[in-house]
Structure 1
Amino acid sequence: MARKNLPPSARQRRLGTELRRLREQADLSVTKAAALLGFSQPQVSSIETGRFAVSADRVRAMARSYTCTDEALIEALAEMTGGRTRGWWEEYRDMLPPDALDLAELEHHATAMRTASVIHLPGLLQTRAHAHAVISDVVPSLAPPEVEHRVSYRIKRQAVLYGESPTPLTAIIHEAALRMGFGGPAVARAQLETLLDMSEREHITILVIPFGAGTFPSSGQGIHYMTDTVPNLGTVQLDTDHGSAFLDTQPQLVKYRTVLDRMEGGSLKSAESRDLIRRVAADL
């Protein structure tokens, strides 16, 4: 039986937010926009909060009525229509927090990704054993079935890195994350070997910030930046102890692009990063 009254996903909310921004840039109130479009005021409000599905043609009509002339942006917004994507993550709806499903959907639609980690390795590059060791130690503790659900979800997210058109990924990892040894020497060694294997793939770049590199921005949190077909439609996900935070305003996107650029600037090049990973693995 189909589910009813699902809350809007982050992607649906983002579409509504972008349409609201276009309306405001055109200096139109909700009342004026509704009259211009032939909608009711509640319809416009529901579209802008992501609670009302809207067709691609209607999005195009709205954007042009708001005097938007950026065709690339209009088409990118049109591609975001159609309601919630019915992807593999829907099977976890009653098992995981909503932001986990939002993250998987955003990754599914991303055209490129950049991620940065200091203590934990990026989830998209974790082995099952490493993920199990990390997730088993969260607070509050999870029951064994919950641990297995979260581990399987994390591994399935990695599908975006495989297939005929894998999503390009740049991962910036601090040396501290390489040396944490989660799960014990055997698990840690296998995880580092997986990093090396993944770094040899053409669409994956792994850069390591070595000890001694000095200070760098946002050293206390993980950053995951997902690029859309139009750069201004990107989304930043920050990992926190209380869940994911999604950021998408232009100042926020500019800030985190700058942060990631600076972190890359303080990292070793790809070949040097692989050499360091091999040395850490040999020490285990």
Structure 2
Amino acid sequence: MARARSGPTEAHRALAGRLRTLRLAAGMSQRDAAEFLPGSVDTLRRIEGAATSLDEGQVYKLLRGYGEPAEKIEAFLGQVAMANLPGWWHQWRTVMDRWQMKLMGVEGAASLIRVWDPALVPTLLRTRSYARALEEVLRPDLSPAAKDARAELLMERQRRLAKQRTRIWAIMPALALQTLVGDDEVRKQILWGWTRRRRAGAWVAMRVCTSP
């Protein structure tokens, strides 16, 4: 049984991209290569687009069809199992938006991320209390547990980005500090969090913009 999908990891995207590169190097169109599979051209598109888990049998047939030598095929297949492992965010998949699942693998490989919000504190600069207060307003239909989980997911994203030293450039309107989200304590935690990041030397560059 196929595992529940939670979006491709960077390792999965890399192997899918290599399959496409090898097909092109072999001078084959997707229609040509689809002849090696029991499915269709759409099956190949999903494989190369990292939209489905990699099946060792299908990958083997494709590599053989592209004329790859046995030792390279063996090495490639050795990476398939790792590429099929779910991403760290898999445990939160039931409370994630579909677009977030596509974002996670890319975000984990980023060295620089630019963020902004027209009226709120940008996502990657939010504290747990700020994020949780927003969930109350934006997703009133969710259970308290789901709202807590979504806030915790954001905190885990921030921790991982800080650990991998991803630089964050944020643009935030001055209006964001006036937009009521939660109580005064939530606002104090936001300001304290920024001060803590600056003292810790975090790779965060922020610009607050005022209306002309």
Shared fold (TM-score, shorter chain, > 0.5): yes
Q: Is the 8 A contact 1:130 1:191 kept in 2?
A: yes
Query: Which runs of structure 2 are paired with 1:31-110 in the superposition (5 Å)?
Result: 31-33=31-33, 39-40=36-37, 42=39, 44-50=44-50, 51-53=52-54, 82-110=82-110
Q: State the Cα deviation string for residues 200-258 of structure 1 (Å, max 9, x = none).
A: 4444233224213x4xxxxxxxxxxxxxxxxxxxxxxxxxxxxxxxxxxxxxxxxxxxx
1:6 aligned partner: 4
Shift of 1:134: 0.8
Structure of higher CA gyration radius: 2
> Deviation digits for residues 42-88 of structure 1, max 9, x if unmatched?
46444224224278xx8xx97xx7xxxxxxxxxxxxx9994345343
Q: Percent identity?
A: 23
Higher RCO (C-alpha 8 Å, min separation 6): 2
Partner Cα distance (1:48, 1:145) in 2: 36
Aligned residue number for residue 161 of structure 1 = 161
CA–CA distance in structure 1, aligned partners of residues 136 and 157 of structure 2: 18
Task: Tell me how far apart the structure 2 counterparts of residues 168 and 81 of structure 1 sit (CA, whole Å).
Answer: 31
* CA distance in 2 between partners of 1:8 and 1:87 (Å): 7
* Counterpart Cα distance in 1 of 2:132 and 2:32: 54
Q: Do the aligned partners of 1:172 and 1:207 also contact (CA within 8 Å) in 2? A: yes
- What's the counterpart of residue 73 of structure 2? none
1:83-232 paired onto structure 2 within 5 Å: 83-163=83-163, 165-212=164-211, 214=212
SS in structure 1 at match of 2:116: strand
Number of aligned residue pairs: 189
The alpha-carbon deviation at position 15 of structure 1 amounts to 6.5
Q: Which letter does structure 1 place at the counterpart of 2:197?
A: M
Unaligned runs of 5+ in 1: 66-78, 215-284
- Tell me, what secondary structure is at the counterpart of 2:138? coil
The Cα of 1:5 is off from its aligned counterpart by: 4.4
In the alignment, is the contact (CA less than 8 A) between 1:116 and 1:172 conserved in 2?
yes
TM-score (norm 2): 0.67
Question: What CA RMSD, in Å, does the superposition of the two structures yield over aligned residues?
Answer: 3.8
In 1, the alpha carbon distance for the partners of 2:121 and 2:184 equals 16
Contact 2:6 2:87 in 1 (8 A): no
Partners of 1:167 and 1:80 in 2: CA distance: 27
Against the structure 1 CA distance between its residues 87 and 44, is the aligned structure 2 distance closer, same or farther, given a 3 Å change threshold?
A: closer
With normalisation by structure 1, the TM-score equals 0.53
Helix, strand or coil: the match of 2:108? helix
Q: CA shift at 1:132, angstroms?
A: 1.2
**Secondary structure, counterpart of 2:83 in structure 1:** coil
* C-alpha distance 169-81 of structure 1, shift in aligned 2 (>3 A): farther
